[in-house]
């Protein structure tokens, strides 16, 4: 019989109990107005300007999103036909070899489970002003302004003015935390990070899906035919091998187009995904290298421009076009580049960053999506919402965004309230065999962009979460 860790079990049960109603004996939310409110300083001018950055969600923002009811779907990849068996016939009436047999590799994509909750708020605190100097005409310019919507988070928390309305402030803080914490999972999601009892589950991210080692989900048989193209740039800085980076990207894209054509998946489309700073540095060199990287003789001298008459105007125009249009010229084709700052970047020291360049197939056969998101539909008939209406007190549960998010308005602890929301999504890559990744790419940004991740190397913030509470003395104070 399996040994039970009763101490661990007790702790898990205690943690579950904590989430059943609004927690704690004191509010943890920080009001924007009232005594000690963040925006209650008497001298605060109307216009506020944002100095914090949010993830740009490059790839996520263009992925199709579809509802699903299926927990463990099976998707097939036809990996080939076995070799013929038998001997060639000796005479005209002899039997020829038998035809081979088709082979199938099944894949599955588990749903994740991601949730966040608001801070505990006291209902009495809403709507209070410190005094007549506590203004309600504030205006946030930039992130945090009216109506900001963040991908990957419930839309119910994406409107209003968080500088003027404390309800909007609490919901804005919730939605920023939700979207920031969810952002990296598109790339580095791993079921190895799931919690013991499944309260938190990650779906499989593209770092794992665009990699070698595919196996059948049922039999665990190796499926090499389903493997993507994986190549290392060898930890070399692209500034030190500009012809090499152009050659690698060009040859990978050629290989994917060749596979697509020969596998009968044409016409297909791809996007190339990389960090924004990597794209900016890459396009500094791409134009010249793209025009000349195959035009050198054995002495490494240009055979098309021996007198130095190469037109820099043309190269600059090519570079500027790629930057403004976010694409790379590859074999005469403008290939869309998705600049995504949720892709993992590693600071290897001395100002050098390291990351990956992904080639993600978007459609095949003239428009059929092959890389997309699914989410468990909480609004389906006989599902979450119907069960809540039948079995739970009315008004405690709702669904938003077409069933993508389930929202729980927790039972209050006297005057203290909380909201928790969850979603169960996954990313699917139906044609890994025409995807690719170039790993171990290094570059030196001229100035590294700020990091949206509070744990990132280039994250900066500052300021206070509240103002000092005003102390007054009553008329009979002694």
Gyration radius of the chain over CA positions: 28
DSSP states of 270-309: EEEEE-HHHHHHHHHHHHHHHHHTT-B-TTS-BSS-TTS-
How far apart are alpha carbons 213 and 204 in whole angstroms? 14
* Cα first-last separation, the chain: 71
Separation between Cα atoms, residue 444 and residue 237, nearest integer Å:
7
CA-to-CA distance for 379 and 405, rounded, in angstroms?
9
Quick: pLDDT tens for 269-291.
999 999 999 999 999 999 888 87
Of the ranges 43-52, 140-149, 175-184, 217-226, the best mean pLDDT one: 217-226
Instruction: Report CA-CA distances (Å) from 40 to 31, 148, 248, 462.
Output: 9, 23, 56, 18
Q: Are 426 and 110 in contact (CB under 8 A)?
A: yes
User: Which among 45, 48, 55, 56 is positioned nearest to 144, based on CA atoms?
Assistant: 48
Residue ranges in 56-183 assigned as alpha helix (H): 166-182
* Cα–Cα dist 405/366, whole Å: 32
> H or E segment at 401?
none
User: Can you tell me the distance from the alpha carbon of 357 to that of 206, in angstroms, rounded to the nearest whole number?
Assistant: 12
Query: Dihedral, CA atoms, 300, 306, 308, 309, nearest 10 degrees?
Result: -130
Q: Would you place residue 151 in the very low, low, confident or very high pLDDT band (cuts 50, 70, 90)?
A: confident
What integer pLDDT is reported at residue 281 of this predicted model?
Answer: 96
For residue 1, pLDDT over 80 is answered with: no
Q: What is the pLDDT of residues 198-246, one digit of tens each?
A: 999 999 999 999 999 999 999 999 999 999 999 999 999 999 999 899 9
Question: CA-to-CA distance for 460 and 458, rounded, in angstroms?
Answer: 6
Core vs surface per residue 295-330: b (16+ CB within 10 A) or e: eeeeeeeeeeeeeeeeeeeebeebbeebeeebbbbb
Of 436, 271, 266, 435, residue with least CA distance to 367: 266
Alpha helices in 183-275 (DSSP H): 185-188, 206-209, 242-262
pLDDT of residue 13: 40
Q: By percentage, how much of the chain surpasses pLDDT 90?
A: 76
Angstrom distance (rounded) from CA 417 to CA 411? 7
pLDDT-above-70 percentage for the chain: 89
Q: What is the pLDDT of residues 290-343, one digit of tens each?
A: 876 555 544 555 545 545 555 778 888 889 999 999 999 999 899 999 999 999
pLDDT at residue 147 greater than cutoff 70: no
Q: If 0-12 CB within 10 Å is exposed, 13-18 middle and 19+ buried, where does residue 331 land?
A: exposed
Q: What DSSP designation does 233 have?
A: E
The string of pLDDT tens digits covering residues 455-469 is: 988 999 999 999 988
Statement: residue 345 has pLDDT above 80: yes
Handedness of CA 293, 299, 305, 308 (dihedral sign): positive
Which pTM value belongs to this model? Answer: 0.89
Q: State residue 23's pLDDT score.
A: 62
């Amino acid at each position: 019989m399996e040994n039970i860790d009763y101490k661990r079990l007790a702790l898990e049960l205690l943690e579950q109990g904590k989430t059943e109603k609004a927690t704690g004996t004191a509010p943890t939310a920080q009001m924007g107005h009232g005594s000690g409110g963040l925006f209650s300083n008497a001298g605060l001018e109307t216009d506020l300007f944002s100095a914090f950055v949010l993830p740009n969600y490059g790839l996520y923002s263009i992925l199709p999103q579809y509802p699903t009811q299926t927990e463990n779907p099976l998707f097939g990849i036809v990996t080939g036909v076995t070799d013929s068996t038998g001997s060639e016939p000796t005479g005209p009436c002899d039997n020829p070899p038998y035809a081979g047999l088709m082979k199938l590799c099944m894949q599955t994509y588990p749903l994740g489970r991601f949730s966040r909750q608001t801070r505990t708020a006291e209902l009495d605190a809403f709507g209070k002003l410190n005094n007549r100097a506590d203004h309600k005409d504030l205006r946030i310019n930039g992130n945090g302004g009216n109506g900001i919507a963040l991908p990957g988070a419930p839309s119910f928390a994406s409107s209003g003015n968080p500088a003027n309305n404390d309800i909007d402030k609490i919901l804005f803080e919730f939605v920023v935390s939700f979207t920031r914490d969810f952002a990296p999972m598109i790339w580095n999601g791993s079921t190895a990070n799931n919690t013991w009892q499944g309260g938190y589950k990650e779906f499989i991210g593209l770092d794992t899906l665009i990699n070698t080692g595919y196996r059948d989900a049922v039999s665990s048989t190796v499926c090499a035919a389903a493997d993507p193209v994986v190549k290392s740039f060898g930890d070399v800085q692209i500034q030190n091998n500009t012809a090499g980076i152009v050659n690698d990207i060009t040859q990978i894209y050629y290989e994917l187009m060749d596979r697509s054509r020969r596998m009968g998946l044409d016409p297909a489309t791809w996007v190339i995904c990389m960090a924004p700073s990597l794209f900016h540095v890459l396009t500094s060199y791409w134009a010249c290298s793209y025009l000349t990287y195959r035009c050198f003789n054995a002495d490494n001298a240009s055979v098309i421009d021996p007198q130095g008459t190469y037109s820099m105007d043309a190269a600059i125009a090519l570079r500027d076009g790629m930057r403004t249009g976010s694409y790379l010229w590859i074999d005469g084709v403008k290939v869309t580049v998705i600049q995504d700052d949720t892709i993992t970047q590693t600071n290897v020291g001395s100002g050098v960053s390291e990351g990956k360049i992904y080639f993600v197939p978007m459609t095949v056969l003239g428009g059929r999506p092959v890389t997309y998101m699914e989410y468990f539909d909480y609004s389906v008939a006989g599902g979450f919402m119907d069960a809540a209406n039948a079995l739970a007190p009315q008004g405690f549960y709702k669904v938003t965004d077409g069933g993508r998010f389930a929202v729980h308005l927790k039972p209050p602890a006297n005057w203290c309230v909380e909201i928790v929301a969850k979603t169960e999504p996954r990313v699917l890559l139906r044609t890994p065999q025409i995807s690719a990744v170039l790993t171990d790419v290094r570059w030196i940004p001229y100035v590294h962009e700020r990091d949206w991740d509070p744990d990132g190397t280039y994250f900066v913030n500052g300021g206070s979460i509240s103002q000092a509470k005003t102390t007054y003395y009553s008329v009979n104070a002694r």
